[in-house]
Amino acid sequence: MADFPQLVKTWQFNVNQLLVETNAQLTDARFMLWALIDSLLGFTSNPWTISSSNNMVNTTVASGSNNVNINTFTGSGVLNVQSTSGAASSGSVLIPSLKAIISYTGISGGNQFTGCTTTYGSGVLQTSQVVHTAPVWASSGTAHSWIVLSQTGISSSFQLLIACSSGTTSYDLNVWFSPSIGFSGGSTTVDPTASDSTPILTNGNWGVQSSAYQYKLHAMQSTDGTCTRVLITQYQAGSSGCVCSGFLSIENAENPVPGWTYPVHVMWLGSTSSPVLTVNTLYQNFNAYSRATANFTLIWTGENINGTFLPTFFLAPNDLSGEWMCMPIGLWSSTVGSRGRHGSLYDIWWGINDNAYPIAGPQGVPFIGANGNTFVQVGALVFPWNSTTMQLS
């Protein structure tokens, strides 16, 4: 009889979200970024909240536009919403449920986008449909979008700042977190700051292509809000196959050492097209970030034999039990002032690095658990899963 790990947390899932290609890289990136944020905001228990933003409006269609076909927006259309607060004076809005993008030339009355033209998509507006302003990428000092998200399940003032201040390349982002103080300030051209801010991505790839592409988005969060994971997957022809090109992990550590006051670990691995959940990115390089009295980096540890990592040692099930390994993941730092093994991660495990994917590991391989497909392996990692078949692209 197979043995499976006992979950420490209960989990809520929003996985297998399809983001159809729009034939424009920027539009795909805009939809993906909002889909990611909407996933965080949409969890039932302890969802993330928006603390502040610039040109990242999160609103809904108002009754004045109910049943309006967006094909009528040809240059002078009016889109009625609950609020335009924080929107740029001109730009574009996204209607995710219609996969539509509508440009506008003005705002009026705090609840109307005016001069609207539908530039992509079709359909009929319905009251309460979500409307977002389309993120704008530009270098710091120039008008760009940013958003600060809060998650009190991690700490009372934990915040994540996502800024499109990486120039005009929308497959890059700047991302920081503040474990306990929170971000303040900021403007239309400058990102907010926090005295304990810790950089996660600096003009770094966040998981979307440099050209138009189709993706799947998978988000999961523990019901207590302490652990959040997001995976961006896409299909690559050739030997890579389906790959996870983006991985966001924000989580409190299990059994943190005394002295780590806010034991939160944050990692955002991104590539335009390559797998990111590899032994190399996780086990052999310091790609996770945290902060004690100063910022420090973390590497994910695992059981090894004099440096030979068990998931890469024998690429098959245990001869005796016939079972694949699921091994716990620890956290270790070599940053001076924060050196040592500081804790482990909840409900995530190293899986065997399969022969077929010696670098990336298998993608989307299900494990049954107590119920069907209770776990899934993506790259080198095994995650809890919601029993569905994981769709990768």
Partner 1 sequence: MPIYPTLDKTWNFNVNQALSAQGTTLACNQNLLYQIINTLTTFSPGWQVRGASDSTHFGILALSAAGPYTGTGAWTSGSSCVWGTPTTAHSWIVLRNTALGGTYSEILISCDSSGSGGIFMWMSPGSGFTGGSTTSDPTASDQFQLNAGGSSNLSYGSQNAKVAYALHAMMSSDGQCTRVWVYSTGTFQSIWIIDQLKNYSTGWTTPWVVHTDYLLPTTGYWSTTTAYTFGCVNNLNSGGYEVTNLATQQFLWTGEGPNNLVTLAYNAPNDLNSLYPMTPIGLYAPSSTSPLRGRHGMWYDMWWGCAGPPFPAGQLYAGASAHAFVQIGPIIFPWDGSATMNQS
Binding-site ranges for partner 1 (CB under 8 A) = 1, 3, 257-260, 283-284, 292, 299-307, 309-310, 313-314, 316-323, 325, 327, 330, 332-334, 336-342
What is the phi-psi region of residue 255: left when phi exceeds 0, alpha when psi lies from -120 to 50, beta otherwise? Answer: left
In a 10 Å sphere around its CB, with 0-12 CB exposed, 13-18 middle and 19+ buried, how is residue 339 labelled? exposed
Nearer to partner 1, 61 or 292 (CB): 292
Nearer to partner 1, 109 or 307 (CB): 307
Q: Supply the minimum distance, in Å, between the C-beta of residue 224 and partner 1.
A: 24
Q: Supply the minimum distance, in Å, between the C-beta of residue 266 and partner 1.
A: 17
The three-state secondary structure class of 219 is: strand
The three-state secondary structure class of 78 is: strand
Length of the chain: 393
Token pair of 292, please?
């004690």
Q: Is the dihedral of CA 308, 314, 319, 324 positive or negative?
A: positive
Nearer to partner 1, 128 or 334 (CB): 334
Nearer to partner 1, 175 or 327 (CB): 327
Nearer to partner 1, 46 or 290 (CB): 290
Nearer to partner 1, 330 or 361 (CB): 330
Residue type, 118: T
Q: Supply the minimum distance, in Å, between the C-beta of residue 142 and partner 1.
A: 40
Rounded CA-CA distance 385/146 in Å is 31
- Helix residue ranges per DSSP H, 24-99: 25-41
Nearer to partner 1, 65 or 290 (CB): 290
Q: Supply the minimum distance, in Å, between the C-beta of residue 61 and partner 1.
A: 50
Q: Supply the minimum distance, in Å, between the C-beta of residue 254 and partner 1.
A: 14
Task: Name the one residue in this structure whose structure tokens are 């310091």.
Answer: 286
**Contacting residues for 109 by C-beta, under 8 A, at least 6 apart:** none
If we measure between CA atoms, which residue out of 393, 29, 19, 20 comes closest to residue 243?
Answer: 393
Q: Supply the minimum distance, in Å, between the C-beta of residue 271 and partner 1.
A: 22
Nearer to partner 1, 144 or 342 (CB): 342
What is the phi-psi region of residue 33: left when phi exceeds 0, alpha when psi lies from -120 to 50, beta otherwise? Answer: alpha
Rounded CA-CA distance 242/193 in Å is 37
Rounded CA-CA distance 304/173 in Å is 34
For residues 15 and 230, the answer to whether their CB atoms sit within 8 Å is no
For residues 301 and 331, the answer to whether their CB atoms sit within 8 Å is yes
Q: Supply the minimum distance, in Å, between the C-beta of residue 302 and partner 1.
A: 7
Q: Supply the minimum distance, in Å, between the C-beta of residue 277 and partner 1.
A: 17
Nearer to partner 1, 226 or 290 (CB): 290
For residues 126 and 96, the answer to whether their CB atoms sit within 8 Å is no
Nearer to partner 1, 74 or 341 (CB): 341
The three-state secondary structure class of 27 is: helix
